[in-house]
Amino acid sequence: MLRARLQFRTFSSASRVAKWAEIPLAPPDKILGISEAYVKDTNSNKINLGVGAYRDNAGKPIIFPSVKQAEKSLLETETEKEYTGIIGNKNFQNIVKNFIFNNSDKDANGAQLIKDGRIVSSQTISGTGSLRVIAEFLNRFYSAKKIYVPKPTWANHIAVFSDAGLTAEYYAYYNTSKNDLDYEQLKQSLNNADNESVVLLHACCHNPTGMDLTSEQWDEVLQIIQQRKLFPLIDMAYQGFASGSPYEDIGLVRKMTKLTAEGKLSSFALCQSFAKNMGLYGERTGSISIVTESKDQATAIESQLKKLIRPMYSSPPIHGSKIVETIFSNQDLFQSWLTDLDKVVGRLNGVRSKLYEKLDKSNYNWDHLMKQRGMFVYTGLSAEQVIELREKYSVYATEDGRFSISGINDNNVDYLADAINKVVNK
| Cα–Cα nearest to 138, from 200, 92, 193 | 200
52/116 same-domain check? no
380/257 same-domain check? no
| Contact in structure between 377 and 402 (CB atoms under 8 Å) | yes
Residue 75 lies in a domain: no
Residue span of the structural domain in which 145 resides = 83-329
Residue 14 lies in a domain: no
Q: How far is the CA of 162 from the CAs of 196, 308, 309, 339, in angstroms?
A: 18, 17, 18, 39
Residue 71 lies in a domain: no
Residue 278 lies in a domain: yes
Q: From the CB of residue 144, how many other CB atoms can be counted at a distance below 10 Å?
A: 17
| Contact in structure between 33 and 383 (CB atoms under 8 Å) | no
Task: Say which of 154, 182, 322, 354 is annotated catalytic.
Answer: 154
Residues 6+ apart with CB under 8 A from 39: none
| Cα–Cα nearest to 168, from 191, 129, 194 | 194
For residue 104, the number of C-alpha atoms closer than 13 Å in the C-beta half-sphere is 9
415/308 same-domain check? no
359/390 same-domain check? yes
| Cα–Cα nearest to 207, from 160, 275, 157, 134 | 157
Residue 6 lies in a domain: no
Query: φ and ψ at 419, to 5 degrees?
Result: -65, -45
Is position 418 annotated as part of the catalytic site? no
56 Rama class: left (phi>0) / alpha (psi -120 to 50) / beta: beta
Specify the pLDDT at position 33. Answer: 78
Specify the pLDDT at position 7. Answer: 45
Q: Is 402 helix (H, G, I), strand (E, B) or coil?
A: strand
| Cα–Cα nearest to 211, from 378, 398, 401 | 378
136/241 same-domain check? yes
pLDDT string in tens for the chain (426-residue length): 444 444 434 445 545 555 777 888 888 777 777 888 899 999 999 999 997 899 999 999 999 999 999 999 999 999 999 999 999 999 999 999 999 999 877 789 999 999 999 999 999 999 999 999 999 999 999 999 999 999 999 989 999 999 999 999 999 999 999 999 999 999 999 999 999 999 999 999 999 999 999 999 999 999 999 999 999 999 999 999 999 999 999 999 999 999 999 999 999 999 999 999 999 999 999 999 999 999 999 999 999 999 999 999 999 999 999 999 999 999 999 999 999 999 999 999 999 999 999 999 999 999 999 999 999 999 999 999 999 999 999 999 999 999 999 999 999 999 999 999 999 997
What's 418's domain CATH number? 3.90.1150.10
Q: What is the DSSP string of 180-247?
A: EE-HHHHHHHHHTSPTT-EEEEE-SS-TTT-----HHHHHHHHHHHHHHT-EEEEEES-TTTTTS-TT
Which residues does residue 119 pair with via DSSP β-bridges, in sequence order? 291
365/323 same-domain check? no
Q: Is 293 helix (H, G, I), strand (E, B) or coil?
A: coil
Return d(Cα 359, Cα 256) in angstroms, integer. Answer: 39
Specify the pLDDT at position 198. Answer: 98
267/187 same-domain check? yes
161/292 same-domain check? yes
Residue 11 lies in a domain: no
Residues 6+ apart with CB under 8 A from 308: 133, 136, 137, 140
Task: Say which of 182, 235, 249, 340 is annotated catalytic.
Answer: 235
Specify the pLDDT at position 25. Answer: 85
Q: Is 83 helix (H, G, I), strand (E, B) or coil?
A: coil
Q: Which of 283, 304, 329 is the last residue of a domain?
A: 329
Return d(Cα 286, Cα 323) in angstroms, integer. Answer: 12
Return d(Cα 376, Cα 359) in angstroms, integer. Answer: 16
Residue 17 lies in a domain: no
Find how far residue 169's CA is from the centre of its chain.
Answer: 19
Task: Say which of 46, 107, 249, 276 is annotated catalytic.
Answer: 276
116/151 same-domain check? yes
With b for 16 or more beta-carbon neighbours within 10 A and e for fewer, the 24-57 pattern comes to: eeeeeeebeebeebbeeeeeeebbbbbbbbbbee
Q: Which of 288, 306, 329 is the last residue of a domain?
A: 329
284 Rama class: left (phi>0) / alpha (psi -120 to 50) / beta: left
Q: How many domains does the chain have?
A: 2
Is position 366 annotated as part of the catalytic site? no
pTM exceeds 0.85: yes
Is position 276 annotated as part of the catalytic site? yes
299/411 same-domain check? no
What's 283's domain CATH number? 3.40.640.10
Residue 16 lies in a domain: no
253/356 same-domain check? no
Q: Which of 268, 301, 329 is the last residue of a domain?
A: 329
352/387 same-domain check? yes
Find how far residue 24's CA is from the centre of its chain.
Answer: 29
